[in-house]
Structure 1
Amino acid sequence: MNHPPLPLRPLAAVSLALAALAATGCGARVEEDPAQAGAAPETATVNRCGEEVEYTVPQRAVAYEGGSADKMFALGLTDHVHGYVMPPANPPVTESPWADEYARVEFLSDDLLNRELVVDAEADFVVAGWNSGFSDQRGITPEILDGLGIQSFMHTESCFNYPGFPERVTPFEGLYTDLERLGAIFGVEDRAAELVADYRARVEAVQEQAPQGDPVPVFLYDSGTDQAFTAGSQVPPNDIIRFAGGENVFGDLDERWTQVGWEAVVEARPEVVIILDYGDQPAEDKIAFLKELPALSDVPAVAEENFFVLDYNEGISGPRNIDGLEKFAEYLREHTA
């Protein structure tokens, strides 16, 4: 899947008229200097999955899924967001802490991200993950968008197997990196630094209260009947589990979301099951399935009905990871009390 690194290339600039508009967020502004009329727009060089890319300040961003939009809204960049794409598996945006911000921008589609949608929206910036929005198979990649003059940004958490420019960080570090990089692109570095400092402090507070002793073995159940779809080491639930004082029983898998056999779940003997809640199958139905699966009848978490429900947007890369961590940590402290 990987190919040799491509030569570095700046993204095509958006028009001067767009670049001259004010970019607002927590008091930061990027404006055209009258004395410099006709000069090139201000730019920022930022890593995109290990590749240095030159960005101009976007004015018509399109965000794919809640994690992307939440990062933009948390940075105070609503005025730079044209709209969002939200597949139906995602929980309603009315449940988001940024529900008012979602209401201010355009709902573009409940389909998967695609090139036609982005072009029709006249987007100048697209935020998504690699293989979570961007896809070789569906013909929408950062390289393709570069050729169309549309800037793009990928979640750092998704970069570890990006062809040509892999980048490896732990999932929460990926969240912090994204906020800092988006802050640089939009000229709101101070706001990004404040957010990251706050999130780091909240994580540290959770770690200080984590149960003592051996980590609690935890299994995340996303979906699946013949096999279980679960979280490997490269997605936020792995950090949620370990920071709270648990151990992801499949955290040794160098994967993002992956399949495992039920026999592996039985052998791991988790004491807690996290249910990732999204889509048409309610968490209660997933729990009922696990309780009715004969192979799991002696697994401690199932036998003792130790289930914790994690909201979808608390499990994908985004600011709500911190909320999910705090909630799960409280559950785990009660479980071990």
Structure 2
Amino acid sequence: MKKKKLLLWLFCATLVLMPVLAGCSSNAPENKAGTENPGNYEKLTFDNYGRKVVIEAMPQKVLTLGPNCSELFVALGLVDKVIGNSLDNHSRGPLPEYADDYAKIPELNYSSATREAVISSGADFIYGIDWQFGSEGLDIAELEEYGMKVYMNSATTFEEAYQEIADIGKIFHIEDKAAAFIADQKERIAAVEKKVSNQEPVKVLVYDSGGEGVYTCGGTNFETLLIEKAGGKNIFDDITDKQWAMVSYEEVLKRDPDIIVVHDYDVPSLKEKIKSIKNDPGLSRLDCVKNEMFIPITLESVLPGVRMAYSVELLAKGFYPDLFK
């Protein structure tokens, strides 16, 4: 009988002590990058191309408006923060190494983000390419009234592009990962520059679309910098008052490009663009067209962000194939 009483007492005591023991043995939750307690978040202030952006808490629901913006968040391991993206109509899909994570991002809008979709999204942070905002796009002041912090992707130099990446790293407390990504981009680009340094720069025409002329990029466009790093020269780099311009076919013939870089996105298709170039009575006279010196490149690859080194490498291989055999 005494033995039975002892066992009963031990059983009851164990039931009483189990919650206490569980509490003592459990570890406190770790503060992983991007999940810090809001009370521990130090307020950050950024100069985003003349706009003051103040971040007081870790963003949890992010919109990435532009495929280059979305890919950057994937590359930095922040895909779990993204609740929607836009402008996949200007994309031919992510790079293979980003494909699985990119597929996890819900599509807010296939083309440009709409006011209704953004406002109803519940987002607290937006990282978007600059032409998604402004007179023909989203009103930043209104978005901020809805509690959305807006950081624009608007780099026109490598230094500005690297600064954007560093700022994203600070906002999400992944500074080391952002710094490592920047270092890798710089190293790869420097390797290409060294390889093509003794070559005569090839003359490059950027062909985005046709019509009354050729819609191309100017000297202040980020794509011009990519071309230069790859050992080329944008034949319209003297257009400095705007990033994009319509130029005449006569002027293209006069400047006689060695290579045509053709933008690849949904409409018109790459095949249709090259066919138009070949069938044009003026452009068809160019030696580069006769010799089919075309370099296709997806539009998101010439936007500032995650693909800088990738694009410089791709262009350089097209400009100087013998160097990269």
Q: In the alignment, which residue of structure 1 is the partner of 2:141?
A: 143
Q: Against the structure 1 CA distance between its residues 40 and 198, is the aligned structure 2 distance closer, same or farther, given a 3 Å change threshold? A: closer
Matched, 1:61 2:68: no
Q: Against the structure 1 CA distance between its residues 233 and 22, is the aligned structure 2 distance closer, same or farther, given a 3 Å change threshold? A: farther
Matched, 1:293 2:280: yes
**When the two structures are aligned, how many residues end up with a matched partner?**
294
Partners of 1:152 and 1:201 lie apart in 2 by 30
Contact 2:90/2:300 (CA < 8 Å) preserved in 1? no
Q: In the alignment, which residue of structure 2 is the partner of 1:122?
A: 122
Query: Which 5+ residue runs of structure 2 have no aligned equivalent?
Result: 1-28
Q: In the alignment, which residue of structure 2 is the partner of 1:31?
A: 36
- Whichever residue aligns with residue 263 of structure 1, its letter is E
Structure 1 residue 76: deviation in Å? Answer: 1.2
Q: In the alignment, which residue of structure 2 is the partner of 1:209?
A: 195
- Whichever residue aligns with residue 247 of structure 2, its letter is V
Aligned runs of 1:1-337 on 2, under 5 Å?
A: 28-32=33-37, 39=39, 41-55=41-55, 56-93=57-94, 97-131=97-131, 133-138=132-137, 140-157=138-155, 169-170=156-157, 172-210=158-196, 212-254=198-240, 255-334=242-321
Partners of 2:91 and 2:237 lie apart in 1 by 25
Q: Against the structure 1 CA distance between its residues 191 and 312, is the aligned structure 2 distance closer, same or farther, given a 3 Å change threshold? A: same
Q: Secondary structure at the match of 1:240?
A: helix
Q: Secondary structure at the match of 1:105?
A: coil
Contact 1:62/1:83 (CA < 8 Å) preserved in 2? yes
Partners of 2:251 and 2:178 lie apart in 1 by 41
Partners of 2:37 and 2:127 lie apart in 1 by 25
Contact 2:265/2:298 (CA < 8 Å) preserved in 1? yes
Partners of 1:52 and 1:250 lie apart in 2 by 33
Pick the structure with greater CA Rg: 2
C-alpha RMSD over aligned residues: 2.3
Structure 1 residue 92: deviation in Å? Answer: 3.6
Structure 1 residue 213: deviation in Å? Answer: 4.3
Structure 1 residue 54: deviation in Å? Answer: 1.1
Q: Secondary structure at the match of 1:285?
A: helix
Q: Secondary structure at the match of 2:219?
A: coil
Q: Secondary structure at the match of 1:144?
A: helix
Q: Against the structure 1 CA distance between its residues 137 and 313, is the aligned structure 2 distance closer, same or farther, given a 3 Å change threshold? A: closer
Q: Against the structure 1 CA distance between its residues 264 and 336, is the aligned structure 2 distance closer, same or farther, given a 3 Å change threshold? A: farther
Partners of 1:179 and 1:310 lie apart in 2 by 23
Query: Which 5+ residue runs of structure 1 have no aligned equivalent?
Result: 1-20, 34-38, 158-168
TM-score in terms of structure 1 length: 0.80
- Whichever residue aligns with residue 178 of structure 1, its letter is E
Structure 1 residue 115: deviation in Å? Answer: 2.1
Q: Against the structure 1 CA distance between its residues 298 and 330, is the aligned structure 2 distance closer, same or farther, given a 3 Å change threshold? A: same
Structure 1 residue 87: deviation in Å? Answer: 4.3
Q: In the alignment, which residue of structure 2 is the partner of 1:8?
A: none
Q: Secondary structure at the match of 1:234?
A: coil
Partners of 2:166 and 2:30 lie apart in 1 by 20
Contact 2:53/2:151 (CA < 8 Å) preserved in 1? no
Structure 1 residue 53: deviation in Å? Answer: 1.8
- Whichever residue aligns with residue 149 of structure 1, its letter is G
Q: Secondary structure at the match of 1:98?
A: helix
Q: Against the structure 1 CA distance between its residues 213 and 31, is the aligned structure 2 distance closer, same or farther, given a 3 Å change threshold? A: closer
Contact 2:134/2:140 (CA < 8 Å) preserved in 1? no
- Structure 1 stretches of 4+ with a deviation exceeding 6 A read none
Partners of 2:300 and 2:291 lie apart in 1 by 27
TM-score in terms of structure 2 length: 0.83
Structure 1 residue 235: deviation in Å? Answer: 2.7
Identity %: 28
Q: Secondary structure at the match of 1:97?
A: helix
